[in-house]
Structure 1
């Protein structure tokens, strides 16, 4: 791939002084001297498409592994939005976490080295806008004597898809922004007014539809050359996610329900579900749940995939974000008691329901099967140095896995739990020195089923309704996600009206997609973050020996030693850097309310 410096124009990354336009510079060793020469070279054109994927590093720096973080600068994994949501606790004091948890987004925005979600998401997505427009400006002029039509279509489809992606990621944080569709030149007028969110989503959908129409493959799963490139299923998935976001209360006019957008969201999700019913490239994976995240080379679940090279425990274990110090990791993200409590009982009751039979002194029995796949809890079977190992999370006497329980030391559990979901089985430096693939899909098929369930329920005020032409109700879609891991159907008590089912759907998002960097932005789009976070103190589980209890230990919830959270209404949008508004002379791009 041709290497080149970032392009600096409006709202793009200012990495160094005197940056040059990639297409107008002579690349060492290539002999290119003009833009026209680049556009007559098949490899160079494909390299521009590959650059689009490189720009996604900010998003994957903290998802599962650290290679992207290492490429872009140690420390950027610190800005973990799983901490922002409260789904995990990180006891080490970090500026970006402290800022967000206290409501100080302005400080968070200025943490260039430690915050992908605020800082890199802004600049890198504007770079994507620049780069995609530069590609779209010339790609239609490429002829089949330079590259096959299928490759022309692939590059054009990728440019359309990544432009839509950039605006989706920008808008869900900063609100609707001007949708620039032409190549950006030094003389381009960038003082553009904000569109409405409904106008913006129309542009995003148009780009997704155009990409769907021309991308040559459904998916490049197992493709010997193009594996990891996006097919039409990825564009369909982004369309589903973007419409589901646009229809949500945080983005509609006056935060009121927009039935038309929910109907569009339901139709978009159904289109991909329908495709998956006959495709061997995309679908709801029916094998071992863990294989979705660590199998070679991936599964049909990853409709927008992300593949890393195999990672050896002996050399690269530190790169796995969820491993803890006792097995030579160094992350120390600990699930909160609040996310643990979201897992239902095995027969489908919330644990606080009178019919659940939940026993506070035997809390890990009889739970949703995903609980055992996602959470490492006291006495959980988990091979550390031998196949017969079990997790010892006792506080006193000190267990094997908590060298400093509930302390400020990071790299260990602060809550009595660890994440299991994204950790391959039998993988650590101490005993299981394996090389494994680690996959972190940006969008997987389960989310599309959840989008469909939510959108149908909201569009038709009925969990037992279907989108036009569909063969699944909203309840059916939710049950498909639950059943594939052996969980029971949604209890009929919760499927009789839209309001009750809405709460089930939202909990299903939190459980099925936990630790996959959804919760924070779901709380924002639903406008539930203030209710869920403001004034909130999160909890862990204190575990001590007690022979009088059914499991031989006593379980006691305790408050994590951190200040109460702050969340007010202005925090549903991120602030724009004042310097961007001033330096680029864009007064029509108004600051978000309250900032």
Structure 2
């Protein structure tokens, strides 16, 4: 159901179970459906099943300067990242179809839920609110990538589907904001059971009021609507009216099966049961995952992690030693990236030392091995040692409280309102949690101006949220994609071997192109424009 025309005309396919981590198990016809509340819940689960997917979550890192994807994996994001794509590109085509499928499923629910006889009104409002959230999220994704898009909130007749034109992005965005505001009171707050920071079973994975507020904040931030973003974030910071959220004590433990549904998670993509993913086989060293390593960190990401004193590696007084480049760095670096000399416990319980420099013995994970990381780095975050046959049931976090703090810090700085109190609530709190102790990293400096604070906040955002799929959105909204995505993809510094290197000895893996304004929007996919001439095309395509 990748094509809009097929999405609009296909028969309804709905889930038969309440759990959010189960695949479709049976089909229904519309005439035999909407019999009771369980049918409505199953229809909602069908919407959740099409919320997002791991190919996007991890592949989005490869779209940015955080990562490189070798080959055509993750729906050929490499072609998008290096500027060598067209309207038939796999990721461009898949994203359009995927989210219009989401919208169709949500429209089916909102169009038909009133048919359920004698349904509890509170339950009906909650189910409808969750579907409206998922539909709003789908429209947000579509407008982010394509700008103007076809817009409808009921299932379209076939003739209209062949002639519908695109609605302006600003109008769709206003709809998204109105939806996220309207549904808040119909959504539950996150419900903890006991003092262990875990959600009650009945609410696990469900959309909450906090998620609606956080998504609204994110979209306001992406639109540079600073006051609105700050106002949304303030509803969740040190305020339990809309949910109880706080930072976990240990950064690395957030991304583990043992700590799923922790108090920092606001919204996550559900896995487990019959729904798993094997993406860690693409980003871990091949001695761990037994496959080629194709989704790998870049040197540019590594270079942006600050020193323990809070200074960037090129700043005077940072203490950075190019001969010992991984010493005294932001502790989140070691929790996110494997480098030459890193140790990791494999699935058999054996501690492996990862060697990436050319000429290493063994050479399996070094840059001169064909199946190893071409940059000399590997992602470590989201490595799930509990995975059976490499199939992980670990949830992927879409929004967490740390992001709310970062959004609030950015919005307040852009408003010219960053002060010691806001710093302590946000950046300092994140750095203390990360185990920084040097006052240079943790304490606010009243002499910092807005521009320097902007650099600090953006760098903090990159380090805290690396490998969570958000960097590409940031560089696009900051309008720096045409700068950072025209730089070569670099790997480790080497002194030997037949590598293409820059003047400083760093491996050049790939050259990229990003044309402004063309590449700030993706093209309407070829199939869609062939079927409907009213869709038009974006600038430059």
Range of TM-score over shorter length: 0.7 to 0.9
Return the alpha-carbon distance in structure 1 between the equivalents of residues 201 and 383 of structure 2. 26
Aligned runs of 1:75-224 on 2, under 5 Å?
80-92=59-71, 96-106=76-86, 109-112=87-90, 115=91, 118-140=92-114, 142=116, 145-146=118-119, 148-188=120-160, 191-192=164-165, 194-197=167-170, 199-218=171-190, 222-224=199-201
Cα distance change, pair 203–19 in 1 and its aligned pair in 2 (3 A) = closer
In the alignment, is residue 395 of structure 1 matched against residue 358 of structure 2? yes
Instruction: Count matched residues.
Output: 514
Return the alpha-carbon distance in structure 1 between the equivalents of residues 410 and 291 of structure 2. 37
In the alignment, is residue 523 of structure 1 matched against residue 454 of structure 2? no
Q: Is the 8 A contact 1:348 1:491 kept in 2?
A: no
Cα distance change, pair 496–31 in 1 and its aligned pair in 2 (3 A) = closer
Aligned runs of 1:107-506 on 2, under 5 Å?
109-112=87-90, 115=91, 118-140=92-114, 142=116, 145-146=118-119, 148-188=120-160, 191-192=164-165, 194-197=167-170, 199-218=171-190, 222-247=199-224, 261-276=225-240, 279-280=243-244, 282-309=245-272, 320-332=281-293, 333-384=295-346, 389-399=352-362, 401-402=364-365, 405-407=367-369, 409-410=370-371, 412-424=372-384, 437-458=393-414, 460-464=415-419, 473=422, 476-487=425-436, 489-490=441-442, 492-493=444-445, 496-506=448-458
Residue deviations 1:520-554 (CA, integer Å, cap 9, x gap) = 12111111011112253423233789xxxxxxxxx
Shift, 1:382, TM fit? 2.4
DSSP 3-state at the match of 2:448: coil
Return the alpha-carbon distance in structure 1 between the equivalents of residues 205 and 215 of structure 2. 16
Q: Normalising by structure 2, what TM-score?
A: 0.84
Return the alpha-carbon distance in structure 1 between the equivalents of residues 277 and 133 of structure 2. 32
Return the alpha-carbon distance in structure 1 between the equivalents of residues 447 and 274 of structure 2. 44
> Given the alignment, which residue of 44, 47, 53 partners 2:42?
47
Cα distance change, pair 236–543 in 1 and its aligned pair in 2 (3 A) = farther
Return the alpha-carbon distance in structure 2 between the equivalents of residues 570 and 493 of structure 1. 40
Shift, 1:518, TM fit? 1.1
Shift, 1:579, TM fit? 4.1
Q: Is the 8 A contact 1:216 1:232 kept in 2?
A: yes
Q: Which residue matches 2:531?
A: 583
Cα distance change, pair 291–262 in 1 and its aligned pair in 2 (3 A) = closer
Q: Is the 8 A contact 2:133 2:179 kept in 1?
A: yes
Q: Is the 8 A contact 2:376 2:491 kept in 1?
A: no
Residue deviations 1:147-205 (CA, integer Å, cap 9, x gap) = x33421221111110111011101111114354233423354763453252x3322111
Return the alpha-carbon distance in structure 2 between the equivalents of residues 9 and 271 of structure 1. 37
DSSP 3-state at the match of 1:265: helix
Cα distance change, pair 592–436 in 1 and its aligned pair in 2 (3 A) = closer
Q: Is the 8 A contact 2:107 2:153 kept in 1?
A: yes
Cα distance change, pair 336–441 in 1 and its aligned pair in 2 (3 A) = same
Q: Is the 8 A contact 2:265 2:399 kept in 1?
A: yes
Q: Is the 8 A contact 1:534 1:568 kept in 2?
A: no
DSSP 3-state at the match of 1:305: strand
Q: Normalising by structure 1, what TM-score?
A: 0.77
Cα distance change, pair 541–416 in 1 and its aligned pair in 2 (3 A) = farther
DSSP 3-state at the match of 1:442: strand
Q: Is the 8 A contact 2:147 2:168 kept in 1?
A: no
Cα distance change, pair 84–439 in 1 and its aligned pair in 2 (3 A) = same
Return the alpha-carbon distance in structure 2 between the equivalents of residues 339 and 495 of structure 1. 27
Q: Is the 8 A contact 1:456 1:474 kept in 2?
A: no
Q: Which range moves more in the overlay, 40-49 or 560-569?
A: 560-569
Return the alpha-carbon distance in structure 2 between the equivalents of residues 316 and 136 of structure 1. 30
Report the aligned-residue RMSD: 3.5
Q: Is the 8 A contact 1:393 1:543 kept in 2?
A: no
Cα distance change, pair 401–347 in 1 and its aligned pair in 2 (3 A) = farther
Q: Which residue matches 2:488?
A: 536
Shift, 1:96, TM fit? 2.5
Runs of 5+ unmatched residues, structure 2: 15-24, 193-197, 498-503
Shift, 1:371, TM fit? 1.2
Shift, 1:413, TM fit? 2.1
Return the alpha-carbon distance in structure 2 between the equivalents of residues 126 and 40 of structure 1. 26
Cα distance change, pair 275–397 in 1 and its aligned pair in 2 (3 A) = same
Cα distance change, pair 205–98 in 1 and its aligned pair in 2 (3 A) = closer
Q: Is the 8 A contact 1:292 1:299 kept in 2?
A: no
